[in-house]
Structure 1
Amino acid sequence: MPLSALRPTPLVEQATDRLREAIAGGEWPVGTKLPGETSLAKILGVGRSTVREALRALAGAGLVQARHGAGVFVIATKPQENWSTRLRQAAVTDAYEVRIAVEVEAAQLAAKRRTVDDLAALDAALDRRREAATSSDAEFVDADIALHAEVVAAAHNPVLTALFAEFLPVLRQALIDLVELLNLRSGDPNHGDESHAALVDAIARGDAEEAGRRLKEELQQTLTQLQTI
């Protein structure tokens, strides 16, 4: 099946679905090396960061595997259904509790392992989250998720990265509903900016304990809110 440009949002989910369909349809047989991120981004009409997140989701589903210095290769044509299916069927609050465990560990590792490039990506993601304050709730949530994805990426643990990518389809709509139902941005369009800035600062300073604490407080507060809707 030939690839083509995507519709607007949510781009990561669309990119993941399109690549999964191409793999299942025989576009890239098992053992084949996928085109590079830049090539895939041009084909799909999205940014490299979107392609990167889609590839992470495919890796989490057991379809592709990144090989250091060689590229990303197809290792299966059918996803490992058990984990993804369980997530889709799980209560959002149950999935969120596991997300807390994954992200807090990732934040602590990020404070220890972050590189100069990671810090630049975190700053850019924080800026984009602030810019999204004037956008719709869905765009704001997407910008928020993108920042969290950069925190996880800075941990440099592919398993944590894959786990986080698997949570996104389950949690995204729940977070949008939360923002809308509780009208969280009515008084502060950039809801949560202070806590996110403090998280990025803690990672930049290499303070693992503070990074984990900041993220746990923020996610725990969101979980409490989710339990009310």
Structure 2
Amino acid sequence: MPLGSLRPSPLVEQATEHLREQITQGEWPVGTRLPGENALAKALGVGRSTVREALRALAGAGLVQARQGSGVFVIATEAAAGPAEGWAARLRRAAITDVYEVRVIVETQAAALAAGRRTDEDVAALEAALERRSRAAGADDAAFVDADIALHAAVVAAAGNPVLSDLFAEFAPALRERLIDLVELLGLREHDRNPGHDTHEALVAAIRDGDGAAAEEILRTELRQTLAHLHAH
């Protein structure tokens, strides 16, 4: 069965289902090494990051397994049965666009709350996190993403709601790997080693000044720009 190009949206879900059909219908038997990401991306008419997300979903369903240095192999033709998965496991196999849409909702509201509730200690933590993000501009992509996530975690912490902080902590591992992939894929730091600095500086200033509306809008704009990149790739 030929793969065939996919419709524009939602790409990850379509790619996952298309590849799942190849496996469950026996086109790729157990033990088969799947084509590489470049080949799959070309066959499906999508970006490599979309293929990567689809393969993660299939791995979460127990159909494929990545073997270091060897590729991705089919290990079952039916999704593994088992107990209901936990929240953390659900996030790990979720499409990054789905995770990011929820992130936009959670973090923008957290920023608005932070502006109204921040303490002097919160402001000091935010300014320190912003400085660490700037210093990480000279580091590799993984270190920069870690510093970026730490700043966002400080924003959520300043909201003074432990449930929001716990929710963000659950998001962080799922976000980290995918954001590193995105930075590398799009070359976001090739011309600017500290992308988004002005935006994050303005966000910290809005929270420090108690301007909830500005903090919410600044963060919504920044996160939606990243989400647009994710939808495009």
TM-score interval for Structure 1 and Structure 2 normalised by the shorter chain? 0.5 to 0.7
TM-score w.r.t. the length of structure 2 is 0.63
Instruction: Using structure 1 for the length normalisation, give the TM-score.
Output: 0.64
Question: What residue is the counterpart of 1:194 in the other structure?
Answer: 198
Question: How big is the alpha-carbon RMSD for the aligned residues of Structure 1 and Structure 2?
Answer: 1.1
The structure that has the greater radius of gyration is 2
Q: Are 1:165 and 2:196 matched, yes or no?
A: no
User: One-letter code of the match for 1:106?
Assistant: A
User: SS at 2:189's partner residue?
Assistant: coil
* Structure 1 segments unaligned to the other structure (5+ residues): 1-79
Equivalent residue, structure 2, for 1:228: 232
The reply on whether 1:106 has 2:110 as its aligned counterpart is yes
- Distance in structure 2 (CA, Å) of the matches to 1:201 and 1:81: 40
Deviations 1:63-122 (A, max 9, x none): xxxxxxxxxxxxxxxxx9521222122111001100111100100000000000000000
- The alignment status of 1:116 with 2:88, answered yes or no, reads no
The counterpart of 2:101, out of the listed 94, 97, 103, is 97
Structure 1 runs of 4+ off > 6 angstroms? none
1:34-62 deviation digits (Å, cap 9, x = unpaired): xxxxxxxxxxxxxxxxxxxxxxxxxxxxx
Match of 1:218 among 222, 229, 232: 222
| Rounded Cα–Cα distance in structure 2 between residues aligned with 1:92 and 1:186 | 23
Identity, in percent, stands at 61
2:186 equivalent in structure 1: 182
Match of 1:37 in 2: none
Greater CA deviation, 85-94 or 150-159? Answer: 85-94
Write the distance in 1 (CA, Å) between the matches of 2:111 and 2:145.
Answer: 19
User: What residue number does 1:12 align with?
Assistant: none
Matched to 2:114, the amino acid is A
Matches within 5 A, 1:1-229: 81-229=85-233
How many residue pairs match? The answer is 150
